[in-house]
């Protein structure tokens, strides 16, 4: 990247992966699959300032609906994220999940998480992500796919961190729900701020859903974020499920905790409705 712009040659992903990412193949027999009855669902192309990125979109077949940006896990826009979009569409939302690693690499074919992090994820600039999410909102608005005056965002793991950052970035959002997104970390040129750094500048209320047994996000980090939000008098909330690990919503992985996942999903719906997304 030079001066905030990207070249077309840097786009290495032009279509979404099919099925589950290689590093996240289902380990559970009861993986949830949401059908497309009554929905318009499939891959779309989002124009950006420097080219285009693929995205998955699901929406009810009729009516102008509130829009939800769905931000991928570390594994990209694979089957689980697509299914989340379909679940949201069944609730009456237009849900769009842009592939935010499109310039840096295809993580769907990588079997090792450390390779995913070092070769792709660590090279994805926050500035690029914010720009691509803005482009996705612009596409929803211009295409008439959804009502961007009623706009929310939700994301998981890597995407949970992005939810907090985008809630401080976008003036168009109404609300956000962050699932076990990292709150603190060592900044670097591509990732200059963490959620705790933007707590005082959040533009919209964010609901954080976290696991008390998450080995990567310790309880003291969550408490520091709570204190930062309270000090800034922000109407955001954090819910912690004491025995839940990281990835407790990922129904295709051993980390899945049905009770916490179900409660979190209900809270997401109530949060969106509370903040004008009904």
The Cα–Cα gap between 3 and 5 comes to 6
263 catalytic, yes or no? no
191 catalytic, yes or no? no
C-alpha torsion sign, points 203, 248, 72, 186: positive
Catalytic position from the list 78, 80, 169, 246: 246
Tokens matching residue 103? 């310039």
DSSP for 245-278 reads: -TTTT-TTSTT--HHHHHHHHHHHHHHHHHTT--
Catalytic position from the list 106, 132, 214, 251: 214
Catalytic position from the list 80, 132, 157, 251: 157
Q: Kindly state the DSSP code that residue 201 receives in the 8-state scheme.
A: G
**Which residues fall within 8 angstroms of residue 223, CB to CB, at 6 or more apart?**
none
List strands edge to edge, sheet with 66-71: 39-48, 51-60, 94-98, 66-71, 147-156, 175-179, 206-211, 237-241
246 catalytic, yes or no? yes
C-alpha torsion sign, points 229, 235, 236, 239: positive
Tokens matching residue 96? 């769009």
Question: Would you name the residues annotated as active-site residues?
Answer: 157, 214, 246
């Amino acid at each position: 990247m030079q001066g905030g712009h990207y070249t077309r040659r840097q786009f290495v992903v032009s279509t979404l992966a099919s099925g589950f990412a290689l590093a996240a193949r289902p380990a559970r027999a009861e993986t949830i699959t949401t059908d497309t009855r009554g929905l318009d669902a499939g891959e779309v192309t989002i124009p950006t300032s420097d080219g285009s990125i693929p995205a998955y979109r699901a929406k009810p077949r009729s009516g102008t609906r509130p829009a939800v940006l769905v931000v991928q896990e570390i594994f990209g826009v694979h089957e689980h994220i697509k299914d989340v979009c379909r679940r949201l569409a069944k609730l009456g939302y237009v849900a769009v999940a842009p592939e935010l690693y499109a310039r840096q690499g295809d993580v769907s074919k990588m079997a090792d998480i450390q390779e995913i992090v070092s070769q792709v994820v660590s090279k994805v600039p926050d500035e690029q992500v914010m720009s691509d999410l803005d482009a996705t909102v612009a596409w929803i608005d211009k295409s008439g796919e959804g009502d961007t005056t009623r706009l929310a965002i939700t994301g998981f793991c890597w995407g949970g961190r992005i939810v907090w950052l985008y809630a401080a970035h976008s003036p168009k959002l109404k609300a956000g729900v962050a699932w076990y997104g990292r709150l603190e970390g060592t900044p670097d040129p591509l990732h200059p701020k963490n959620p705790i750094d933007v707590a005082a500048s959040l533009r919209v209320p964010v609901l954080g859903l976290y696991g008390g047994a998450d080995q990567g996000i310790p309880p003291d980090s969550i408490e520091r974020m709570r204190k930062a939000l309270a000090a800034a008098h922000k109407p955001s909330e954090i819910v912690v499920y004491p025995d839940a690990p990281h990835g407790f919503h990922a129904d295709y992985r051993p980390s899945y905790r049905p009770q916490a996942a179900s409660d979190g999903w209900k809270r997401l719906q109530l949060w969106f409705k509370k903040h004008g997304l009904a």
